[in-house]
């Protein structure tokens, strides 16, 4: 694993130091990941789909650790979409228990790593025990100052935009501002992500080349990075590869 290539060690020569410095400057501030392929991972091993979800959950810890190591500020993980309710009840039930398990097992470690847990999505509509485990973790990690681990759960980008439009409409009705005052910033300020920067790098595992209703507004100028690797197998090396590739991209935002 070439993990220590980036900012933290190995300042042996001037040339190296310069490269390291450049790398450090181009570390993405916000990485968003569509963690896809748990079911296929299990299927390939002749296991039930839920075995893939469990393995996928364990992988989150590994990726949080490396993201923290690279001083990524925000890691947004797509854990459950508004469309995932279409799945069989037994699979949904299992998926709803995973956050409880995850936090039970890993919260002490996340505290040690100074990770701050947040969510985007309709957490209020989750089963009560799932919601309360998440709320407890948010509260407990509230004053941590390291990586923001932002879990997208019961998240759908189109729903989020509809909600934004509705609350802006209400504010217009109440005379808080006029229609002409509505700008792109107004929409953004009414999304779940109002307090976050947009993702610089958006990763999807499992070979699917689509966004599946994830951060449609926020990823307007994100760099996209796809891999065939199934989420439970996505490791530190590939994470680093994605960052290295990102560092070589030229972000133009429509300019030249």
68 and 146 in contact (C-beta within 8 Å)?
A: yes
d(CA 164, CA 45): 43
Binding status of residue 223 toward Mg ion by CB under 5 A: no
Per-residue contact track with ligand IPE, 124 to 143, x per CB under 6 A? --------------------
Q: Which of residues 27-46 bind ligand IPE (CB under 6 A)?
A: 34-40
131: left (phi over 0), alpha (psi -120 to 50) or beta: alpha
92 and 126 in contact (C-beta within 8 Å)?
A: no
Q: Which is nearer to Mg ion, 36 or 200 (CB)?
A: 36
Q: Does the annotation mark 84 as catalytic?
A: yes
Any alpha helices (H) in 77-156, and if so which ranges? 89-112, 128-140
Coil, helix or strand at residue 158: helix
Count of alpha carbons within 13 angstroms of residue 235, beta-carbon side = 5
CB of 56 to Mg ion, least distance (A): 10
Q: Which of 80, 102, 106, 192 binds ligand IPE (CB under 6 A)?
A: 80
Q: Which is nearer to ligand IPE, 181 or 208 (CB)?
A: 208
Q: Which is nearer to ligand IPE, 32 or 148 (CB)?
A: 32
CB of 84 to ligand IPE, least distance (A): 5
79 and 152 in contact (C-beta within 8 Å)?
A: yes
Binding status of residue 206 toward ligand IPE by CB under 6 A: yes
> Which one is catalytic: 36, 150, 154, 200?
36
Q: Which of 36, 113, 200, 223 binds Mg ion (CB under 5 A)?
A: 36
Binding status of residue 200 toward Mg ion by CB under 5 A: no
Give the E-state strand segments of the chain in sequence order. Answer: 30-34, 74-81, 116-120, 148-155, 201-204, 223-226
Binding-site residue ranges for substrate:
37-41, 49, 53, 81-83, 85, 87, 204, 210-212
The residues annotated with a catalytic role in the active site are: 36, 84
Binding residues vs ligand IPE (CB under 6 A): 34-40, 78-81, 84, 95, 206, 208, 210, 212
């Amino acid at each position: 694993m070439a993990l220590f290539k980036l900012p933290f060690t190995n300042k042996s020569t001037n040339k190296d130091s310069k490269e390291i410095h450049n790398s450090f400057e181009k570390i993405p501030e916000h990485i968003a990941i569509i963690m896809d392929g748990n079911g296929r991972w299990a299927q390939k091993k002749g296991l039930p789909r839920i075995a893939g979800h469990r393995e996928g959950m364990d992988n989150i810890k590994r990726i949080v650790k490396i993201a923290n190591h690279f001083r990524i500020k925000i890691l947004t993980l797509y854990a459950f979409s508004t469309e995932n309710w279409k799945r069989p009840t037994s699979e949904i039930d299992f998926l709803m228990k995973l956050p409880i398990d995850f936090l039970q097992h890993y919260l002490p470690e996340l505290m040690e790593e100074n990770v701050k847990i947040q969510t985007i999505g309709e957490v209020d509509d989750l089963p009560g025990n799932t919601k309360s485990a998440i709320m407890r973790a948010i509260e407990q990690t509230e004053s941590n100052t390291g990586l923001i681990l932002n879990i997208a759960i019961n998240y759908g980008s189109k729903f989020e935009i509809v909600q934004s439009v509705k609350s802006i409409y209400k504010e217009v009705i109440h005379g808080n501002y006029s229609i002409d005052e509505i700008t792109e910033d107004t929409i953004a300020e009414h999304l779940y992500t109002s307090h976050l920067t947009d993702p610089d790098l958006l990763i999807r595992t499992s070979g699917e080349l689509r966004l599946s209703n994830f951060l449609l507004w926020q990823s307007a100028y994100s760099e996209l990075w796809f891999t065939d690797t199934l989420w439970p197998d996505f490791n530190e090396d590939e994470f680093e590869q994605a960052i290295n590739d990102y560092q070589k991209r030229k972000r133009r935002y429509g300019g030249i």
